[in-house]
Structure 1
C-alpha cells in the first residue's frame, strides 16, 4: 500500500488517497492483457451485431410487440456500450488512463447504467413471458403500449439515478506499483470502508440478486405451465429460455463475486492477512471479470441468430425481423398468428393460447 506519489501534473485534476482499496488496478500484466483481448473480440462482434438488431427492428419489422420494444431498448443500450469499449481496450493495453478525469467518471457511469438497464430489461421480458403464458387473457390489458412506454421511461430514469455512485466514487489518480512504476488509473476512491460496502453490495443486490431471482422464478413458472399443456413444440423453446438465463448468469456472476470479495475484505483489519488475500484476488481479477461482463452485451445477437436460424434461408437479411415479428410456419405448414394467439388447427384453444403467447414472447421453434 506504500509508494504512492504526491507529484501531480499541475494542469490536471487528478487525486490521491491515503488508503484506497484498489492500488494499481491495472498493474497485473496477464489480467489486463486478457481483459484487452476479450474486449477486442467483444467490440468486433457486439457493435455490428447490435446494430443489425436495431436495423432489423426499425427498418424491416412490420409490427412491434412488447418483446420487440424491449429487445430494441436492450440492443440500443448494448450497442452504445459496445462502441465505448475502445476506450477500455486502450486503457488495459496501455495500463494507464489517458482520457482525463471527466471521461473516467462518464464512461464508468455509462457502463454501470448499462448493467442495470440490461438486467432490468431482461427482467421485464421474463415478467411479460410469465403473464403471457400463465395469464394469457390478462396480457393485453397489463401490457398496453402506453403502459409499456411509461415503464420503459421510468426504468431509464431509475437506471440513471442508481448509477450515480459511479460518478461520486471514481476518479483518476497516480499510483505506483510494486516495480515503482508510476501510472494513472481510473479507479474507485472510498474514504470510508462503509462506502466500499455500500457501492459494491448495492450493485450486486440491486443489479443481480434481486432481478435475477425474479427472472429465475418467472422461468420456472413458465416451464411448469408449458409442461402442463399438450403443446409439445416447446422443447426447443424451453432450451432457448434456459439459455437466456444461464448466459446472463454465466457472464455476470464472476463480476458480482468479485464485488462480494471486495465487500468482505472491508470487514477485516488493514493489517490482516485475510484482507490482503481478498484484496489481491479482487484487484487481480477485476479486469477479467469486467471484460466477461461485457460479453453479455454482445452475446444476445448470437443467441437471437441461433434462435432464428430456420428463417435465414427463406427471409435472408430479414430473418431477424421475422423472428421479432413472431410469425413462423410450423412443421405441418400451418400458419399461426403469434400476436392474436389464434391458430388454424392442431391444438385446443387453451393450449394454443398459452403456446402462442409463449411464442410471441420469444419462444421460437
Structure 2
C-alpha cells in the first residue's frame, strides 16, 4: 500500500479509495502549491541570505540570540534553495530528478522542520532563563557552550530525519513514501508530531506564559523589543506549521481506523489537504526576514544595510540591560533604605541632645 510521507507535499500515491490516484494529478492543488512556492522562493531566499550576511559581515558582536537567529536563517535559506525542484515537480506533475535526489531533497525538508522548531524552542528557553533567573544567564552566554549546544541540535535533527530517506522512493514518476504496514505510517508521523510539534510547542508555551507573568509582576512593565521579536517568530512558525501537523494527526487516525466510511473520509481529508498545508508550511521559512525588517526599520536611516545587524545586537543585550536596570534599581532602593535609617538615627540623636540640654539648663537654674 502506498502511503504519503507527510512532510513535503503533492507527492502522495494513495489508496484511500482503492485506486491509484496521486495528488500531483490534482490541477487546482498543484497550481496553488506552485504559486505559493514561487512567491516563497522570490521573497525567502534573498531575505534569508541577507540575514546571514548581516550577522556574519555586519554584526559587531554575536550574542546567543544572534547565533540562534543565524542558524535559523541557515536552515530556512537552505529550504528556500530547494523550492525550485518542488515547483518543477508541481508544474510537470511528475518527478524528474531521480531516486537519489528524491531521498535527499525530502530528507533536507524534514530536517529543516526539526531544526527550525528546535532553534525556536531554544530561543524561548533562553528568554525564560534571562527573565526568571538573570543571575544564571552566564551559563548560556559562553560562545563555546552555545556552539556545542547547536552542534547537538543539528546532530539530533539529522538523525530524526532518517525516516525520510528510508521510506522515500520514486515509483511511477512519483517521489513518495511507501510503507508496508499501517504501523509504519503511525510510527513515522507520530515521531514527527512528538518531536516537531508536541514537545517543542509545550516548552514554548510554558516558557512564554512564565515570561509574561514575570514581566507583569516586576516594576519594569515595559515592552522590550527583543521579547516582541522572538514572540513574533514563535507565533509565525506555529501559525504556518499547525495545519500541517493537524493533517499528520488526521493521517495517523486514518491508519488506525478499520475499513469503513470514517477511514474513507479521513483518507480524503489528508489527501486533499496535504498539498495546501505543506505549501503553507514553507511560508514560515520566508516570514522571518519580513519580521526582522519591520522590527528593525527604525535603524534603516541611521545604519543603512547594517540595520538588521544592529537589531540583532539590540535583541542580544536587552536581557543584560534589563538586568542592569533591575540591579541599579535595587541598589537605589538599598541606598534609600540606608538613608532613611541614618535619618532616623540622626533624629533620635537630635531628640536626645535636646533633652540633655533642657535638663542641663534646669539644673543650672
Structure 1-normalised TM-score? 0.81
Shift of the 322–17 alpha-carbon distance from structure 1 to 2, 3 Å rule, reads closer
Residue 306 in structure 1 maps to residue 306 in structure 2? no
Structure index of larger Rg: 2
Structure 1 segments unaligned to the other structure (5+ residues) = 3-15, 175-183, 329-336, 354-365
For the 8 Å contact 2:61–2:313, the answer to whether it is kept is yes
For the 8 Å contact 2:120–2:234, the answer to whether it is kept is no
Map Cα deviations across residues 249-282 of structure 1 (whole Å, 9 max, x no partner).
1100110111111111112234x12212111111
The Cα shift of 1:341 comes to: 3.2
CA distance in 1, matches of 2:157, 2:249: 21
Residue 54 in structure 1 maps to residue 52 in structure 2? yes
Shift of the 23–152 alpha-carbon distance from structure 1 to 2, 3 Å rule, reads farther
- 1:76 maps to 74
- 1:261 maps to 250
Shift of the 167–231 alpha-carbon distance from structure 1 to 2, 3 Å rule, reads same
CA distance in 1, matches of 2:39, 2:271: 23
- 1:155 maps to 153
Among 285, 299, 304, the alignment partner of 1:297 is: 285
The Cα shift of 1:351 comes to: 6.6
Shift of the 65–28 alpha-carbon distance from structure 1 to 2, 3 Å rule, reads same
- 2:341 maps to none
- 1:185 maps to 174
- 2:271 maps to 283
The Cα shift of 1:240 comes to: 3.7
- 2:327 maps to 349
The Cα shift of 1:243 comes to: 2.4
- 1:181 maps to none
Among 9, 12, 26, the alignment partner of 2:24 is: 26
The Cα shift of 1:90 comes to: 0.7
Matches within 5 A, 1:161-310: 161-174=159-172, 184-234=173-223, 239-270=228-259, 272-310=260-298
Structure 2-normalised TM-score? 0.81
Shift of the 223–339 alpha-carbon distance from structure 1 to 2, 3 Å rule, reads closer
For the 8 Å contact 1:326–1:339, the answer to whether it is kept is no
- 1:106 maps to 104
For the 8 Å contact 2:63–2:141, the answer to whether it is kept is no
Structure 1 residue runs of 4+, over 3 Å off? 16-23, 235-242, 337-344, 350-353
Corresponding residue SS for 1:172: strand
Among 283, 304, 308, the alignment partner of 1:320 is: 308
The Cα shift of 1:110 comes to: 0.3
The Cα shift of 1:233 comes to: 2.9
The Cα shift of 1:327 comes to: 7.5
Corresponding residue SS for 2:223: helix
- 1:6 maps to none
- 2:87 maps to 89
The Cα shift of 1:21 comes to: 10
Map Cα deviations across residues 36-60 of structure 1 (whole Å, 9 max, x no partner).
1110010000000000000000110
Give the alignment's Cα RMSD to 1 decimal. Answer: 2.6
Shift of the 136–22 alpha-carbon distance from structure 1 to 2, 3 Å rule, reads farther
The Cα shift of 1:17 comes to: 10
CA distance in 1, matches of 2:199, 2:100: 31
Aligned residues: 320
CA distance in 2, matches of 1:320, 1:352: 33
Q: Which range moved further: 134-143 or 118-127?
A: 134-143
For the 8 Å contact 2:118–2:200, the answer to whether it is kept is yes
Map Cα deviations across residues 128-151 of structure 1 (whole Å, 9 max, x no partner).
111111111100124421111111
For the 8 Å contact 2:111–2:161, the answer to whether it is kept is yes
The Cα shift of 1:34 comes to: 0.6
